[in-house]
Chains A and B, each alone.
Chain A
Amino acid sequence: MSNKIVLGYDDSEAAKSALAFAVSLAKAQRAELVIAHVLEWSPYSFLTPEEIEQRHKRREEELKRAEDALLAPVRKSLEDDGVTVSTELKYGHIAETLIDVIKKSGASHLIIGRTGHSALSSRLFGSVAGSLAQAAPVPVTIVP
């Protein structure tokens, strides 16, 4: 079994709790932490001609913003803390993309935060945490 942990990370409060939990676990197990951030994107949504024209530029901007504001600071602080860490920044369906990251990195554990959706919207659309708990190929820890 590899000693890698994938953390699904965004700018929510729950994700910060999940990060703290993941760091303590990674330290205890001397595991490597893979911090993944997924920008939600469907290739089947509809765009206006202007949006199509702007898309390439927007994508670069979105990637840069996520890297600079979200991933780089975390990576730096964890490296300073002595944790082995890498980051993944991807576009796609959140749950499916996290599963891809797990498979590709060969990780053995997934940690995610529980986002505070209302009971109704989770029932209607399903929650990311719920789908991952059902579909992930590795044990999943959901941090409140």
Chain B
Amino acid sequence: MRKSIKAAALSAPLLLAATAPAMAQSVDERVNELFASSTGWFVNLIFSPFPGTSFPWIVAWLVVAATVFTLYFGLIQFRAFPHSISLVKGDYSDPNDAGEVSHFQALATALSGTVGLGNIAGVAVAVGIGGPGATFWMILAGLMGMASKFTECTLGVKYRNEFEDGHVSGGPMYYMTKGFAERGLPMGKFLAVLFSVFCILGAFGGGNMFQANQAHAQISGVVGDYPGWITGVVFAAVVFAVIVGGLKSIARVTEKVVPFMGVMYVAAALVILAMNADKIGWAFGQIFEGAFTGAGVAGGMVGALIQGFKRAAFSNEAGVGSAAIAHSAVKTKEPITEGFVSLLEPFIDTVVICTMTALVIIITGQLIQDPNTGLYLLDEGASTIQTVDGNKGVALTSAAFSSAFSWFQYVLALAVILFAFSTMISWSYYGLKAWTFLFGEGQTTELVFKVIFCIFVVIGAAANLGPVIDFSDAAIFAMAVVNIIALYFLMPIVKKELNSYMARLKSGEIKKYS
């Protein structure tokens, strides 16, 4: 009798332990199904191709916008590049303003919101589908995106709201309402509301679920498979502690470690490139060849272009409007200086960091080529390129780095978790600003948003990559649709600011302090 009780007592937890994973898997599955079925229509709308082609209209929309801003501001990203660097170095900062947020700090904070999984996982998705050629289009999109960012961040600062207690709210919803009113244009309020709705969805999607999802993929890649909702709950608890509990210490540690991780990531990539120095020429050859011929890649040249542009936009967020929210909180006398500083973001994020990831994946031979023809082999569904061990997304990047240093997967796992976390914190802020624009400032309304945000962390970690990445992209690009319309109408204001500033810089009215 005693024995059997003991046995029962022993077996009960065992039984629980045995059924828990099965239950957990089914929770994951149910979350995934529900999520995919409820967001499908939105994704299809955003990514629908031009009739009779396979070219999504949204990609054309972003390319055209970046080209328009680049031309309208006379290649501002190249002209103003040296001046942007001096601004960040503090050459033009008045010593009497010491103690205010510096240009460097504004840039670092905005970057820690954008440098993240887009640079690690997103790039892997791009070259996994579009081949090495996608890298070329990604770099081009990064360079042109600098002009979009310049435009939106200048406007973000110019039209921000300053409240009596000294705090500031800014972003596209504010330049849409105030800027449109100033120019006597209708529909400003409508655009602002639409943007805010998409921004909240973007905050839940790319700024949250995609991050949680890939963080889970990375952790389970290192410690072995386990249910996603567990990662989700842990992440949600930490995010909750920071954004609701005001636990600044965690945020502060992340803000310090993230830039360090970024530098380390680039350094590791450079070392791997140096180790394979003889193949760098070949890799660039693959990138250029793939860009224009799409040799044997899913979707050909257009496929490479679409992937490159999509992932660049997702990574550096140029034209999306999120950076305009981040920069508008900075106290500055000249709104345009924030524009200058922000144009460095797509450069650092996409032209430098994303390119590093792509080169490492290409150079370490993760994409399988036909030994005879040199063409990339497609997997069964013919939608992606075959990779060593069939890795996708963040796992592909991890495999590429680990092929040089086996221990790097642990560093990368840590980097992914931290990047994911800092991106979530940034996007919770962007989403909150959109939320308070719609529902008003106030502690209760803010708390509601923050709690919903944390719930989405769990959903994101539990769902599959496919539906999550589709929804994340769709929400972020929907922001860009609305934001870019506003930018077209308001760009003459930026031009005026630019001309006035440049004239004063030339005349010596604006001068260096050091």
Chain A residues in the interface with B (C-beta under 8 A):
39, 41, 43-57, 59-60, 62-63, 90-92, 100
Contact = CB atoms under 8 A, between A and B. Distances in A.
B98 A46 contact: no
A46 B255 contact: yes
B298 interface: no
B49 interface: no
B330 A46 contact: no
B99 A39 contact: yes
B interface bracket (residues with beta carbon within 8 Å of A): 20 to 34
Interface stretch (B106-114, B131-139, B494-502): B106-114
Contacts of A92: 95, 98
Given A43-B93, A46-B108, A47-B109, A52 B166 contact: no
B90 interface: yes
Given A52-B105, A53-B168, A43 B331 contact: no
Given A49-B329, A53-B167, A43 B102 contact: yes
Interface centre among A55, A57, A59 (most CB of B within 10 A): A55
A45 B99 CA distance: 11
A4 B258 CA distance: 46
Contacts of A39: 99
A62 B108 CA distance: 23
B101 interface: yes
A55 B255 contact: no
Nearest to A49: B429
B251 A48 contact: yes
B101 A47 contact: yes
17 contacts: A43-B90, A43-B98, A43-B104, A45-B105, A46-B108, A46-B259, A48-B248, A48-B251, A49-B109, A49-B426, A52-B326, A53-B329, A54-B167, A55-B100, A56-B166, A56-B168, A91-B98
Nearest to B259: A46
A92 B99 CA distance: 7
Per DSSP, are chain A's interface residues mostly helix, strand or loop, or mixed? helix
Interface in B245-289: 248, 251-252, 255-256, 258-259
B232 to A, nearest CB: 22
B509 interface: no
A47 B166 contact: no
Contacts of A55: 100-101, 331
Contacts of B251: 48
B99 A59 contact: yes
B104 A44 contact: yes
Contacts of A52: 101, 105-106, 109, 326, 329-330
Contact of B102 (A44, A50, A57, A60): A44
A49 to B, nearest CB: 4
B142 to A, nearest CB: 23
A122 to B, nearest CB: 23
